[in-house]
Structure 1
């Protein structure tokens, strides 16, 4: 990762204006002579001392404090059925719901496009539909990431000073170019696929370390355990519930890492949580049934309505929301719109 000096935070101080006073003049005119019967006497008044006045220059007005720096963290939870999340305690997920907007919906599965991770995460990362990014399944054949890069790569091109990061346990996202080489810092796991729990523990450790110890403006993190459990046991049993509660605990760790940042008071964070696809009750996806196509986008941050519920979730809205929250105009070829009311130019 490129190392950059952290931005300085200026604190405005109040300027005090000191009033100055002045005394009387150096002397008074001679008093008139007083007549006497035989002798004329002239009375000379004593000399008055000068009054010394010290003038204090008015200080320059202190500079206004800088606006809080916007930061965005996107958390991808693989294969999460939001209805099953709402059937658990999921304390941190619910806190995010209270602080922001939960949009739920169904994937628009086009001909030859499967409800699987390749198309799902490609859509989230690029902000365009499969008809543009070209990913129809997990092979990533036909991908058009040079023409439609991920939102981190776009941001690096538009504003290279931003610190970007991506951490994922699915190596294909990096190897296929869904996360581009321009991203400042990225990590992936070399553990075998679906080693339940191990990869996600590695990923959450790396991301919390990154948030606490490094400069980061925009980050993407992808966790797999929920999808792995759903494939093995389905989504109705205790194993899937436990997996949801595990990733909910990971969200809590991320929130704590953000609050622990030395510069947190001078920052304004947006958190976006989303998924790539749903699952059948018995586990499995890739088809066109409603449970397989179940998706959600949960976002909280400046300008995002608190406690709102919507039924129009679209994966393409994630990238658009990232741009809007950073105050950067939306590229014209994005297919989504921001979930916030923050104005960032060409919002849909």
Structure 2
């Protein structure tokens, strides 16, 4: 049997096992939000992504280690990729905090910093930033120049999850975002197996992120997900309200750093972790002025970074030249799937450090 719940655009079948494993706050007939918890919409295509969650605290941190070489009698490890998008993060402010999990990932992989190439009409804003991360192509292709998403070309240049579903439908994909415009505009396509997003209503800053992280850690621990994208917004919200130089922004960075630790713990808690090969990618969409705010062309507004660890990605390397288009290319390469010709990026596993 399958349960069903309403999502924008129709009714989708939902496995009861998934609903039990992932206690989502559903907006459906007869279902309402838990007291004190932001509303979240969820949907899922019929391809199963169910399993049983192990008994482990989500706060256990992950020690990233190289995947062991398979023995002749064992199959190669199954590749998995998690992409974490942190909205409006100035990497120089991250480095001014302890950020223990962020630094753990830096030691395990490659940390690339740089600046948005803000072309004519393109704003240093979330719309073009996340569209570039998700599609792996530049704004002149995907057509998003600001947060209106007017002129978007996601049918021609879909997000990397949708491309993977088309190329290899057996892959289990997921997207969880606090900014529902990524779903409403098609920046994350309908082919994605499972997705959740916040509702359009005011919440205490960071409240939606807490639920989003709960859902993603549940999903990672309890399902057969292969490729996932998660987007959090608290850092951007705090920067707009209080700037990036004070304790509020530092606290927001430390909060999302703790979320990274929970995600690492969820990965390690997977029953099949020993036979899997995980790549973790963390990135941002834009920077902020010291006093808060973005959209312009100043260096602080255009600051971006890519941080990735996984098989084949150089360890403990720091380099310049970060490009958002490299995220999608890295996802494909880490999964062992040839890059579509229309992608504009290169995998971080193939880009050598700049001496």
Give the structure-1-normalised TM-score: 0.81
CA separation in 2, counterparts of 1:76 and 1:283?
Answer: 19
Decide which of 128, 136, 143 is 1:134's aligned counterpart.
143
**Is 2:154 aligned against 1:145?**
yes
Give the match's secondary structure for 1:103.
strand
RMSD: 1.6
Contact 1:194/1:228 (<8 A) preserved: no
**Is 2:258 aligned against 1:249?**
yes
Alignment of 1:97-246 (within 5 A): 97-190=106-199, 192=201, 195-246=204-255
- Listed one character per residue, the Cα deviations across residues 208-266 of structure 1 (whole Å, up to 9, x for unaligned) are 00001111000000000000000000000000000000000000000000000000000
- Report the CA distance shift for 1:63/1:236 in structure 2 as closer, same or farther (over 3 A): closer
Contact 2:50/2:222 (<8 A) preserved: no
Partner of 2:288: 279
Higher strand content, 1 or 2: 2
Partner of 2:48: 4
Deviation at 1:172, TM superposition (A): 0.3
- Report the CA distance shift for 1:193/1:70 in structure 2 as closer, same or farther (over 3 A): farther
- Listed one character per residue, the Cα deviations across residues 169-226 of structure 1 (whole Å, up to 9, x for unaligned) are 1010000000000000000011525631100001000000000111100000000000
**Is 2:87 aligned against 1:78?**
yes
Deviation at 1:341, TM superposition (A): 3.8
- Number of aligned residue pairs: give it: 288
- Report the CA distance shift for 1:145/1:89 in structure 2 as closer, same or farther (over 3 A): same
Partner of 1:48: none
Q: Which moved more, 1:183-192 or 1:333-342?
A: 333-342
CA separation in 1, counterparts of 2:328 and 2:203?
Answer: 27
Partner of 2:68: none
Give the match's secondary structure for 1:335.
coil
Contact 1:156/1:162 (<8 A) preserved: yes
CA separation in 2, counterparts of 1:185 and 1:292?
Answer: 32
Deviation at 1:3, TM superposition (A): 4.6
- Report the CA distance shift for 1:68/1:6 in structure 2 as closer, same or farther (over 3 A): farther
Give the match's secondary structure for 2:307.
strand
User: 5+ unaligned residues in a row in structure 1: which ranges?
Assistant: 8-61, 343-348
CA separation in 2, counterparts of 1:195 and 1:244?
Answer: 17
Alignment of 1:286-297 (within 5 A): 286-297=295-306
Contact 2:126/2:286 (<8 A) preserved: yes
Give the match's secondary structure for 1:131.
helix
Decide which of 252, 267, 277 is 1:258's aligned counterpart.
267
Give the match's secondary structure for 1:182.
coil
**Is 2:321 aligned against 1:312?**
yes
**Is 2:136 aligned against 1:92?**
no
- Listed one character per residue, the Cα deviations across residues 128-180 of structure 1 (whole Å, up to 9, x for unaligned) are 00000000000100000000000000000000000000000101000000000
